[in-house]
Amino acid sequence: MVNKRMRLLAWALIGLLVLTTVGCAQKPAEPQKPGESQAEGDVIKIGVFEPMTGDSAAGGQMTWEGIELANKLHNEVLGKKVELVLVDNKTDKNEAANAVIRLIEKEKVSAIIGSYGSSLSMAAGPIVLEKKVPAVGCSPTNPLVTKDNPYYFRVCFIDPFQGSVMAKYAYEDLGAKTAVIVRNVADAYSVGLNNYFKEAFIKLTGDEKSILAELDYQQGDQDFTAQLTSIKKLNPDVIFAPGPYNDGALMIKQARGLGITAPFMGGDTWEAPEFIQIGGKDVEGVTLSTHYSVDAAPTEAAKEFVDAYKEKFNKEPNAFAALGYDAYMVILDAIERANSYEPTAIRDELAKTVGFKGVTGTITLDENGDATKSAVILQVQDGVFKYLTTVEPD
Partner 1 sequence: MTRKNNYLYTLMAVAALAVVVAWAQTGLFGLLSPWDAYTVRIMNLCAINIGLGLALNLVNGFTGQFSLGHAGFMAIGAYTVALLAMSPAVKQMNFFMVPLIAPFDKIQISFWAGILWGGLLSAFFGFLIGAPVLRLRGDYLAIATLGFAEIIRVVIINVKGLTNGALGLKGIPVYTNLWWTTAYAGLTVLLMVRLIKSSYGRALKAIREDEIAAQAMGIDVFYHKMLAFVLAAFIAGVGGGLQASLIGSIDPAMYKLPLTFQILLMVVLGGMGSITGTVIAATIVTALMEILRFVESPLTLGAIHLPGIPGMRMVVFSLLLIVVTLFYSHGLMGDKEFSWDLLFSRRTKQGVTQ
Partner 2 sequence: MTATEFLQHLANGVSLGSLYALIAIGYTMVYGIIRLVNFAHGDLLMVAAYIAFYGILLFSLPWPLAFIVAVVLTTLIGVTIERVAYRPLRDAPRITVLISAIGVSFLLENLGLVVFGGRSKAFYVPPFFAAINHIGETAVPNLVWFIPLVTVALLLILMHLLYRTRIGMAMRAVARDLDTARLMAIDVDQVISFTFMVGSSLAAIGGLMWGLKFPQINPLMGAMPGLKCFIAAVVGGIGNIGGAVVGGFVLGVGEILLVAFFPELAGYRDAFAFILLILTLLIRPTGLLGERVAEKV
Least spacing, CB of residue 358 vs partner 1, in Å: 27
* 223 class by beta-carbon count within 10 Å (0-12 exposed, 13-18 middle, 19+ buried): exposed
Residue 10 touches partner 1, criterion: CB under 8 A = yes
Select the binding partner of residue 268 from partner 1, partner 2, none (C-beta < 5 to 8 A, by kind): none
| The binder of partner 1 chosen from 78, 80, 83, 101 (CB under 8 A) | 101
Q: For strand 384-391 and strand 375-381, is the pairing parallel, antiparallel, or unpaired?
A: antiparallel
Please name which of 316, 351, 380 lies closest in space to residue 135, comparing C-alpha atoms.
Answer: 351
The DSSP H or E segment spanning 278 is: helix 273-279
Can you tell me the distance from the alpha carbon of 50 to that of 323, in angstroms, rounded to the nearest whole number?
13
Query: What's the 3-state SS for 141-172?
Result: CCHHHCCCCCCEEECCCCHHHHHHHHHHHHHH
Find the part of the chain contacting partner 1 (CB under 8 A) among 89-97, 256-264, 327-335, 341-349: 89-97
Binding mask 212-231 for partner 1 (x = CB under 8 A): ----x-x-------------
Question: Is the Cβ of residue 198 or residue 256 nearer to partner 1 in the bound state?
Answer: 198
Kind and range of the H or E run holding 295: none
Q: Which residues bind partner 2 (CB under 8 A)?
A: 53-58, 185, 213, 215-218, 220-223, 225-227, 229-230, 232-233, 244-246, 249-250, 253, 257-259, 272, 274, 277-278, 280
Residues 307, 313, 318, 324, Cα dihedral to 10°? -90
142-171 footprint of partner 1 as x/- string (CB under 8 A): xxx--xx-----------------------
Nearer to partner 1 (CB atom), residue 82 or residue 127: 127
The Cα–Cα gap between 382 and 372 comes to 32
Task: Please give the single-letter amino acid code of residue 135.
Answer: A
Binding site for partner 1 (CB under 8 A): 1-4, 6-7, 10-11, 13-14, 17, 20-21, 24-29, 31, 52-54, 57, 86-88, 90, 92-95, 97-98, 101-102, 104-106, 119, 122-123, 125-127, 130-131, 142-144, 147-148, 184-188, 190-192, 195, 216, 218
